[in-house]
Structure 1
Amino acid sequence: MKSLRLIFCALWTAAFVSGCGAYSFTGKSTLSSDVKTFTIRDITLSAPSSYATISQEMTEKLKEYYQRNTKLKLVPQNGDISIEGSIVDYRTDGVAASSGGDKAAMNRLTIVIEVVFTNKFNEEDNFEKDFSFYLDYPQNQTLQEAEKTLVPKILDQLVLNIFGDTVAKW
């Protein structure tokens, strides 16, 4: 009797899981099967002051992430899906007052990228949207010191957010 229950449970589970074939835990299956290629144009820099190589780093991080996490082929132009963008804001702000109250105890580095996404096969997916992310750093650290660790982390998160809204639909 126990083995009969076990077999029934196994069959029920298999039927349930196969019935959920359109669902993906990673969300990677949301693109039409017609989409085979992608283009990522060079990310431009329109923020007044920023990390010297930020636009090139962002462009390369996007290309690498899409290549690693999709089966799409990178093409220099006219991809089935296309991403272009510009870093429109790069700023640091004081976010927490120190015990003396006249100085910030923590500073925040914020990066904003404006993204234009185009899908040739589903125009409803197309958008123009700002993505932003920030990380805090202590007041006793200069921006130049903090940038070395913060900028790569912020760019990684921006890539994840862009991927989530363009391909994975998280």
Structure 2
Amino acid sequence: MKAVKIVLFLLLSLSFYGCGSYSFTGIQTDAKTVQVKYFQNTAAIVEPGIERTFTNKLQEAIQNQTSLGLTNSNADLVYEGEIVDYRISPMTATANYTASQNRLTISVLVKFSNAKKEEENFEKRFSFYQDYEGDAQLTGSKLTEVVDFIFTRITQDIINESLAKW
């Protein structure tokens, strides 16, 4: 009976040991530190403050999904870039020739550098959009809601491209 307990204990221990290297987020990196440089807003239409919002959102996403330490210099991984497009487009029209639905599209150009695996470096444009009612003014809490939705999608796409090796 004691031998059965020992065998069961060993099997259970080995099964937990095998789970130790698995990441539920799919992020696999041997890097320890990350730096997110300030993303400038160079879009033709400049919405004040979204560059700070995007930089903070990317930092938060990385910190929430990885165990990487955030640093200001000499990081293993570096994200830098700029917001290159901020565009509002009418999507559907009414009989009175007014927009019944608009779309905000934001694009970010990201340069990713991995000091440990330079073959993973890239420079890529990430873009996403959110539709909203045509009679809504894109200001205040509505602007915050739409921009947060777009930046959440873009930051997730950036993390998937740079760290998640599916």
TM-score normalised to structure 2 length: 0.82
Contact 2:105–2:127 (CA under 8 A) maintained in structure 1: yes
8 Å contact from structure 1 (residues 47, 88) kept in 2: yes
The reply on whether 1:96 has 2:95 as its aligned counterpart is no
Shift in Å, 1:169: 3.2
Query: Residues 21 and 75 (structure 1 numbering): CA distance in 2 closer, same or farther, change over 3 Å?
Result: closer
Q: Give the structure 1 partner of residue 151 of structure 2.
A: 155
Count of matched residue positions in the alignment of Structure 1 and Structure 2? 153
Is the contact between residue 115 and residue 130 of structure 1 (CA under 8 Å) also seen in structure 2? Answer: yes
Matched residues in 2 for 1:37 and 1:124: separation? 18
Q: CA RMSD in A?
A: 2.2
**Structure 1 residue 163: Cα displacement:** 1.1
Residue 68 of structure 1 and its aligned partner are, at CA, apart by: 2.0
Which residue does the alignment assign to 2:139? 144
Unaligned runs of 5+ in 1: 1-10
- Partners of 1:18 and 1:37 lie apart in 2 by 26
1:77 is matched with: 73
Partner residue of 1:105? Answer: 100
Compute the TM-score of the two structures, normalised by the length of structure 1.
0.80
Cα distance in 1 for residues equivalent to 2:20 and 2:63: 24
Query: What is aligned with 1:124?
Result: 119
Q: CA deviation at 1:88?
A: 0.2
- SS at structure 2 position matched to 1:49: coil
1:169 aligns with 2:165: yes
User: In the TM superposition, what is the alpha-carbon distance from 1:21 to its structure 2 partner?
Assistant: 7.5
Contact 1:81/1:118 (<8 A) preserved: yes
Whole-angstrom CA distance in 1 between matches of 2:50 and 2:19: 41
TM-aligned CA deviation for residue 49 of structure 1: 1.9
Match of 1:31 among 25, 29, 32: 29
- The AA in structure 2 aligned to 1:58 is F
Q: Does 1:87 align with 2:78?
A: no
Contact 2:25 2:65 in 1 (8 A): no
Q: Which amino acid aligns with 1:41?
A: K
For residues 137 and 125 of structure 1, the distance between their equivalents in structure 2, rounded to whole angstroms, comes to 36
- Identical positions, percent: 39
Shift, 1:50, TM fit: 3.0
Any stretches of 5+ residues in structure 2 without a counterpart?
Answer: 1-10
| Number of the residue aligned with 2:47 | 51
